[in-house]
Structures are given as structure tokens and as C-alpha cells.
């Protein structure tokens, strides 16, 4: 049993800079996972790298080091702990971000968000440990996973470095029981938080979403937890009023996330929505619909209620859409 890992005080700022692409630290074509020897484990990093590469991809002996996805870390001293390895790894990442001249092979072409650790003397049969840092719901976390078989290492590690998978998907397949610390969990889930419909007219949805900042719409938030649910719409405001009531009623009756079939943990707001219109998005309409919120009606009746409902309209700049909607929703509950 290993101890839960913790992040140094400056880790979040270091990882955030790397995540945003500073100093060209995410050149995934050349990144190699460093292998650290932990405790009194045998110094078999080179053998591990070769064996894992043989299982993953057949290459000429002369090209193995160049094409391998792993490389041994150049360590000084013995009895390195997993926490020591994490601290060192973040330190060399910080040096790279600061533009320091590399002091050794470790600081060149290494995968920045994680590493492999050789912990057990029987690693050939019981596997190795991987450590990874992830942005999860706006909070950086570090987790570990042990018992990864050597013949699976290439597939699992390259799927992470090529961003084809998430460490959270890989860990449960092996032993991830040591992730019990505060730094091993992401930010809080938006349980019961409001979501708002965003109708997009005259532009691509992707463009509107890029201009309107939704902090819960970034990739580190699970699917279905965004603040805004965008819909492409090229019709009149009256038809938007009809659709809004139908969409709200359908969500309340069946609160399922369409993309994954999972129950939604968020609430859909019954009266507030936004309209982003025009190729050049200088402002966004925030609309509040006055109605009785009774969905025990047929679709035709809901459409009729929508058309007849009174609207109050506000305007705000694209960057303020989410904060304005949240402020109006909170004001409604007073």
C-alpha cells in the first residue's frame, strides 16, 4: 500500500501553464514517459523500457531508444519515494517552462503530466505504477495506479500522451486504491446547479461557444455539466418561445444526457435562456419568460403558452452571459 500523493503548493500554476501550451511542453510526437526507480526496487528501468516497447511495437534494435515511449530517469541517490519522484518531475517541468537550459536527459522530450514508477522487485509479473496529473472540474489533481501489466503499458500510456483516453478511465482497470487524499480528487460536481439554453442564430455553434465563456464547458468538466446547452436555431423569436417550453418540459420529464444516456445532475432553468445572433457577436440577449411553469400539458398546449408568454429581455457582452444568467437565476429565488 502506497501513501496518497499530494501536490506541492505551486503545482497548480505549473501544470496550468503546461496545459495552456506554454514553452512548447506538449510536443506529443517526441514525449517519452520517464521511469523512476522507487525505494529499493531493482534498477531495471532500461529493461522495463525495452520489454514494454517489444510488447507494444516491433522496431529495429537501432531505433528502439529513439522510438520508445519510455526512457529511464537519471536519478541521483537511492530510496526515492513516489512523492519525491512527483516533486522532482514537477520541478523539471517548471525549469522547462522558465526556459532554463536542460541539465540532463530527464529535462528533454519528457511527457510532462505523468510518469511511470518501478516499485516492486517482481514488476515483471505484478506490473508497474503510473502517476498522472489532471485538471478535473477546474481543480488539478494527482492520482496513481499500480499493477499495470508490461504488455498493456504501451497501449495505456500512449493513449494518454496522444490524448486518446483519460487516466480516470484507465485507473479502475487496475489498482487505484491509494487515491484517498484531498489532492487526489477534482473539483465539486455541480449537483443541482442551473443549466440554461443558448439559441444560436446566424453563426456556427462552435463559434458562439468560443466567444461565450462557459467555465463548465471546458474539456475538464464531464459531459452534460456545462452551464449552457446550445442549440442551432434559424427561426423567429416566437418559435424559440415555443421550443423553449417544449425543451424544458422534455428535460424535466426525462432528465437524461443525450450523448451518454446518464442522468443529469444539473437542473434546467424554467424561464431564463439566451440568444446569440449574428455573425459578429457584440452582445447576447438574455431572455426571461413569464409563465406558470406547469408542464402537465400537451405539446400543443405548451407551444400555445410559449407564444402567449410575456418576455423580459436584457443584453450583455458575450463574456458576461453565464454570470448574468446565474445572477438573474439567484435573484429569482429570493
Domain locations along the chain: 11-184, 194-332
pTM of the model: 0.86
How many percent of the chain have pLDDT more than 70?
92
State pLDDT tens for residues 202-254.
888 888 988 998 999 999 999 999 999 999 988 888 999 999 999 999 999 99
Whole-number mean pLDDT of the chain?
90
User: Residues 301, 241: contact at Cβ < 8 Å?
Assistant: no
- CA 271 to chain CA centroid, Å, is 30
Q: Are 145 and 3 in contact (CB under 8 A)?
A: no
3-state helix, strand, coil in the chain (%, to 5): 40, 20, 40
Instruction: Provide the phi-psi class of 277: left if phi over 0, else alpha when psi is between -120 and 50, else beta.
Output: beta
Q: Is the pLDDT of residue 9 over 90?
A: yes
Q: Which CATH number applies to 11-184?
A: 3.40.50.800
Best CA proximity match to 324, nearest among 333, 315, 240: 315
What distance in Å separates the CA atoms of residue 167 and residue 160, rounded to the nearest whole number?
Answer: 7
Q: How many CA atoms lie within 13 A of 251 on its CB side?
A: 21
What whole-number distance in Å separates Cα of residue 116 and Cα of residue 33?
A: 7
Q: How far, in Å, CA of 285 to CA of 273, rounded?
A: 8
**Predicted confidence band of residue 289 (pLDDT cuts 50, 70, 90):** very high
What is the distance between the alpha carbons of residues 109 and 37, in angstroms, rounded to a whole number? 19
Amino acid at each position: 500500500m502506497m501513501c496518497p500523493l499530494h501536490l506541492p503548493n505551486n503545482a497548480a500554476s505549473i501544470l496550468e501553464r503546461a496545459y495552456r501550451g506554454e514553452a512548447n511542453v506538449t510536443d506529443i510526437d517526441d514525449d517519452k514517459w520517464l521511469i523512476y526507480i522507487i525505494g529499493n526496487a531493482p534498477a531495471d528501468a532500461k529493461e522495463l523500457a525495452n520489454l514494454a516497447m517489444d510488447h507494444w511495437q516491433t522496431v529495429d534494435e537501432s531505433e528502439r531508444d529513439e522510438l520508445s515511449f519510455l526512457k529511464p530517469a537519471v536519478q541521483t541517490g537511492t530510496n526515492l519515494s513516489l512523492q519525491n519522484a512527483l516533486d522532482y518531475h514537477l520541478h523539471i517541468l517548471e525549469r522547462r517552462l522558465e526556459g532554463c537550459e536542460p541539465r540532463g536527459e530527464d529535462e528533454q522530450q519528457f511527457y510532462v503530466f505523468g510518469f511511470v514508477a518501478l516499485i516492486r522487485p517482481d514488476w515483471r509479473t505484478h506490473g508497474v505504477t503510473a502517476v498522472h496529473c489532471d485538471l478535473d472540474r477546474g481543480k488539478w489533481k494527482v492520482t496513481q495506479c499500480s499493477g499495470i501489466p508490461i504488455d498493456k503499458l504501451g497501449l495505456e500510456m500512449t493513449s494518454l500522451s496522444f490524448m486518446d483516453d483519460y487516466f480516470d478511465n484507465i485507473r479502475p482497470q487496475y489498482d487505484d486504491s491509494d487515491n484517498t487524499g484531498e489532492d487526489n480528487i477534482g473539483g465539486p460536481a455541480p449537483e443541482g446547479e442551473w443549466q440554461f439554453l443558448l439559441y444560436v442564430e446566424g453563426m456556427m455553434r462552435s463559434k458562439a461557444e468560443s466567444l461565450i465563456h462557459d467555465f463548465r464547458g471546458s474539456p475538464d468538466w464531464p459531459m452534460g455539466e456545462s452551464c449552457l446547452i446550445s442549440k442551432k436555431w434559424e427561426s423567429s423569436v416566437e418559435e424559440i418561445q415555443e421550443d423553449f417550453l417544449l425543451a424544458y418540459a422534455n428535460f424535466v420529464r426525462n432528465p437524461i444526457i443525450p450523448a451518454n444516456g446518464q442522468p443529469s445532475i444539473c437542473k434546467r432553468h424554467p424561464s431564463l435562456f439566451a440568444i446569440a445572433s449574428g455573425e459578429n457577436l457584440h452582445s447576447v440577449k438574455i431572455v426571461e419568460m413569464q409563465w406558470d411553469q406547469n408542464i402537465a400539458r400537451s405539446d400543443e398546449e405548451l407551444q400555445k403558452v410559449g407564444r402567449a408568454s410575456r418576455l423580459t429581455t436584457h443584453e450583455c457582452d458575450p463574456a458576461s452571459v453565464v454570470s448574468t444568467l446565474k445572477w438573474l437565476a439567484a435573484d429569482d429565488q429570493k
